Amino acid sequence: SQKIEQNSEALNIQEGKTATLTCNYTNYSPAYLQWYRQDPGRGPVFLLLIRENEKEKRKERLKVTFDTTLKQSLFHITASQPADSATYLCALLSSYNTDKLIFGTGTRLQVFP
């Protein structure tokens, strides 16, 4: 069956460190992968998009990698800050169905001062 898995446990890190979040997928042929941030009581906010033929994408302190061999995307936040504390969702667009995004369950990140 098709699955998109993110660490269900919260990730706790100290301010200034690099946070690395994982998104693994099975039985998908993704064309695109997107990352979103969701704060409590709010809707998800788009962060980055990476295509299947791209290895890496950067935006300020954020970096996303996409390894179609490992079937995995990693999301990095460098020099993390308490304001980065939120739930981060990965979302995949299958190359066989470009009508909809399939979301993972998200990983909650807590950055401590």
Partner 1 sequence: DTAVSQTPKYLVTQMGNDKSIKCEQNLGHDTMYWYKQDSKKFLKIMFSYNNKELIINETVPNRFSPKSPDKAHLNLHINSLELGDSAVYFCASTPGGLAGAIYEQYFGPGTRLTVT
Which residues lie near partner 1 (CB under 8 A)?
A: 31-32, 34, 36, 38, 41-46, 49, 87, 89, 93, 98-103, 105-106
Q: Which C-beta is closer to partner 1: that of 85 or that of 87?
A: 87
Find the shortest distance in angstroms from Cβ 68 to partner 1: 17
Give all strands of the β-sheet with 72-77 in edge-to-edge order.
3-6, 19-26, 72-77, 62-67, 56-59
CA distance 100 to 57: 22
Find the shortest distance in angstroms from Cβ 112 to partner 1: 22
